[in-house]
């Protein structure tokens, strides 16, 4: 009997084991398969906005004498042969003769005549000078600082640059600049000319003849030179009036019109793409480029 009981117990045990095993397989089959991990898609790369090239503005049709619109400063010099191709004409006579580019003769003459009618006795104290004279002026100014101001040669050179342009970088070398004052005020040792009636007249009217005050007050950081109320530069009537109305310098005009590269050098209205205009009707006279020996101050 015991043997039968053991057998029965063994059978029950086996049956129970098989039942448990079957149920476990059933649950395993019924369990949902694990979902694969979600892999996030990489974010779209945001494309950088396309940078459009800013092109230089063109001169408007009404702009006159655009051949005269070019920069002469410490970053923009004149071509080495500029003076060889320049025709000059007599624009003012006193105890010496003054010359400028022949194409501006009629504008200068008219300005002086109209000023005279308004009771303003303008005088010219400097105009065109060649690069050799400019070089002499620069060297003389450096030496004066060494001899009379106690500067080292390096200090004298740097200080001279703030008042005198190197040869080939002076507006006077272009034939388009003139220093204009009044009969009772020709001293350039300070800016006293700004307090004269003549300066007020010139400041108000010079643009009508195509001229601008080239180195205005408060613009030293832009032009690189101190205020010179006597220094006038021809750029044509359109741009002279434009600059005067906006209160900007020639450097600022070039920047506004995108005519400069990142280094401040002209890429438009430079000497490779500025058309030569016809010479003004005038009597062209040989110019020695000699400077007034009695001038009492440094000049650009």
**What distance in Å separates the CA atoms of residue 174 and residue 250, rounded to the nearest whole number?**
15
**What distance in Å separates the CA atoms of residue 68 and residue 271, rounded to the nearest whole number?**
10
Read off the DSSP letter of residue 223: H
| Sign of the Cα pseudo-torsion (65, 71, 76, 78, in order) | positive
Report the candidate in 268, 236, 233 with the shortest Cα–Cα distance to residue 76.
268
> What share of the chain has pLDDT > 90, as a percent?
65
pLDDT at position 56 over 50: yes
pLDDT of residue 53: 77
Q: What DSSP element (H or E) covers 110? A: helix 105-117
pLDDT of residue 178: 98
**What distance in Å separates the CA atoms of residue 119 and residue 8, rounded to the nearest whole number?**
144
Least confident of 35-44, 120-129, 157-166: 35-44
Assigned CATH for 66-256: 3.30.1380.10
- Mean pLDDT score, 276-299: 43
DSSP letter for each residue of 14-74: HHHHHHHHHHHHHHHHHSPPPPPPPPPPPPPPPPPPPPPP-PPPPPPTT---GGG----SS
- Mean pLDDT score, 138-152: 93
- Provide the mean pLDDT of the chain: 83
The pair of three-digit structure tokens given for residue 232, joined into one six-digit string: 């006038």
> What share of the chain has pLDDT > 70, as a percent?
74
Partners of 228 in beta bridges:
215
**What distance in Å separates the CA atoms of residue 215 and residue 227, rounded to the nearest whole number?**
5
Cβ atoms of 278 and 264 closer than 8 Å:
no
Least confident of 139-153, 242-256, 282-296: 282-296
Instruction: Read off the pLDDT band of 18 (50, 70, 90).
Output: low
């Amino acid at each position: 009997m015991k043997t039968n009981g053991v057998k029965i117990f063994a059978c029950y045990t086996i049956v129970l084991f098989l039942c448990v095993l079957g149920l476990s397989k059933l649950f395993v089959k019924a369990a949902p398969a694990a979902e694969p991990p979600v892999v996030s898609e990489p974010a779209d790369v945001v494309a950088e906005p396309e940078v459009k090239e800013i092109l230089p503005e063109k001169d408007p049709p009404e702009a006159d004498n655009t051949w005269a619109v070019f920069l002469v400063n410490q970053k923009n010099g004149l071509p080495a042969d500029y003076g060889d191709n320049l025709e000059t004409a007599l624009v003012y006579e006193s105890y010496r003769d003054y010359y400028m580019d022949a194409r501006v003769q009629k504008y200068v003459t008219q300005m002086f005549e109209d000023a005279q009618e308004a009771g303003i006795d303008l005088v010219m104290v400097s105009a065109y000078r060649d690069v050799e004279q400019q070089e002499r002026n620069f060297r003389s100014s450096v030496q004066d600082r060494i001899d009379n101001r106690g500067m080292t040669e390096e200090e004298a050179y740097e200080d001279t640059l703030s008042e005198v342009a190197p040869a080939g970088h002076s507006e006077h070398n272009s034939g388009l600049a003139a220093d204009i004052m009044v009969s009772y005020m020709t001293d350039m040792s300070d800016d006293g000319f700004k307090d004269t009636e003549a300066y007020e007249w010139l400041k108000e009217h010079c643009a009508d003849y195509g001229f601008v005050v080239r180195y205005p007050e408060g613009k030293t950081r832009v032009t690189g030179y101190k205020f010179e109320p006597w220094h006038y530069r021809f750029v044509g009537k359109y741009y002279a009036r434009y600059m005067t109305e906006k209160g900007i310098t020639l450097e600022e005009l070039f920047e506004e019109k995108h005519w400069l590269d990142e280094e401040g050098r002209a890429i438009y209205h430079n000497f490779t793409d500025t058309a030569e205009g016809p010479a003004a009707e005038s009597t062209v006279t040989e110019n020695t480029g000699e400077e007034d020996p009695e001038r009492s101050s440094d000049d650009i």
